Amino acid sequence: MVLMTQAPATAKGTRRQHDREIVALAVPAFGALVAEPLFVMADSAIVGHLGTAQLAGLGIASALLTTAVSIFVFLAYATTAAVARRVGAGDLQAAIRQGMDGIWLALLLGAAVIATVLPTAPGLVELFGASDTAAPYATTYLRISALGIPAMLVVLAATGVLRGLQDTRTPLYVAVAGFVANAALNAGLVYGADLGIAGSAWGTVIAQWGMAAVYLTVVVRGARRHGATLRPDASGIRASAQAGVPLLVRTLSLRAILMIATAVAARLGDADIAAHQIILSLWSLLAFALDAIAIAGQAIIGRYLGADDAEGARGACRRMVEWGIAVGVVLGILVVVTRPVFLPLFTSDSVVKEAALPALVIVALSQPISGIVFVLDGVLMGAGDGPYLAWAMVVTLAVFTPVALLVPTLGGGLTALWGAMTLMMTVRMLTLWLRARSGRWIVTGATR
């Protein structure tokens, strides 16, 4: 009888421990994630008053910059997993050294991107179909902002270092401070210094390098405290790159899915593409909440595996899946309840609203599925299971593409397209669930 009463108490205590860890990491991570798109929103609000051509140029340049940076998001993901493993193993010196390898890789990639973007900026802008009036502004903004790409990539890698060290508060503080500095600099340079759209670009670049400097200061202090070298290590940088390649494949596959969905929506008509953009914005916002749990998963799972605690990793995985489902249900209910209030914020066109309403129901119903997907994605990233994630996303892309391309032919409009998006998330859930259930992702030790 004593054993029977103690076991549930122990299980309950373990769940509470997992809950505390998840909340402590996920809540600040969510704040930092939400702060990131505010950069673009602040730039848009300030540049929008210069004129339509300037705002159009900013939109094109921002899309190109966002794509370029999002491709390298593996700098954060791979670094988080690698650093967390070494933290779990109790080797903070090796953890920070691994993080420095990721930061050096970020600087190298950033330099390569600058060398590519500066001479090709006019061609890239033309490729995006910029008008003759918007193209000069887009080119100006793109060329200046490209100088901040190394800083943006350093921020990604350094954020991964701190997440691996189980610290998501510092990235939140830096993100908020960066947003405030960016808004102030943009306003001052655009209007105070009368630099126009160039002032907006320079303000963003300065803010980005300021954020990178803060991160580097924090990491360098940690390195000195634990006796970790700051010098670039070729083998370590190469290992960071190799760990990132599968995650790069995963990210490119996901970007391809989103681009295909947008292209299909465009073929459905103006009202459908307008409604699709509204829904995609909401879908992205919902993703921030779920991605925050995934970030917690990366840090927690990596730490457990590094500490050779396979059972702890399994328990944390189970609890985070429960969190993902619960948050997904709550988000789904919120989408349904707020539909009448949400849509008028973006459009007064009744045709666009009619196209969006049923598709939003599909999005709401799919949120628990999305919760499982984001959590398991984070768990497998934390385990360093990148090759499987790459394979799973390529399979998902192969399933989604023909289904999505058939939507204009078979009918169903935007609702059918978001049904295809839900199918995509279901395929992801199945591939990730099979991997999680197999236990093959559980590889303990300081390195995978």
Reference 385, options 423, 425, 436; nearest CA is 436
Task: Give residue 10's pLDDT.
Answer: 58
Asked if 222 contacts 103 with a C-beta cutoff of 8 angstroms, the reply is no
Count Cβ atoms within 10 A of the Cβ of residue 344 and give its class: 0-12 exposed, 13-18 middle, 19 or more buried: exposed
* Cα dihedral 123→125→130→132 (10° resolution): -60
Count Cβ atoms within 10 A of the Cβ of residue 224 and give its class: 0-12 exposed, 13-18 middle, 19 or more buried: exposed
Mind listing the pLDDT tens digit for each residue in 270-299?
888 888 878 887 888 899 889 999 999 999
Task: Write out residues in the chain with pLDDT < 70, as ranges.
Answer: 1-11
Task: Give residue 429's pLDDT.
Answer: 97
The rounded distance, in Å, linking the Cα atoms of 272 and 264 is 10
Count Cβ atoms within 10 A of the Cβ of residue 391 and give its class: 0-12 exposed, 13-18 middle, 19 or more buried: middle
Three-class DSSP category at 357: helix
The rounded distance, in Å, linking the Cα atoms of 426 and 369 is 7
Asked if 190 contacts 77 with a C-beta cutoff of 8 angstroms, the reply is no
Which residues fall within 8 angstroms of residue 440, CB to CB, at 6 or more apart?
A: 388
Phi, psi of 227 (to 5 degrees): 70, 30
Q: 300-320 as b/e, with b when 16 or more CB fall inside 10 Å?
A: bbbbbbbbeeeebbbbbbebb
* Cα dihedral 407→413→417→418 (10° resolution): -160
Task: Give residue 118's pLDDT.
Answer: 94
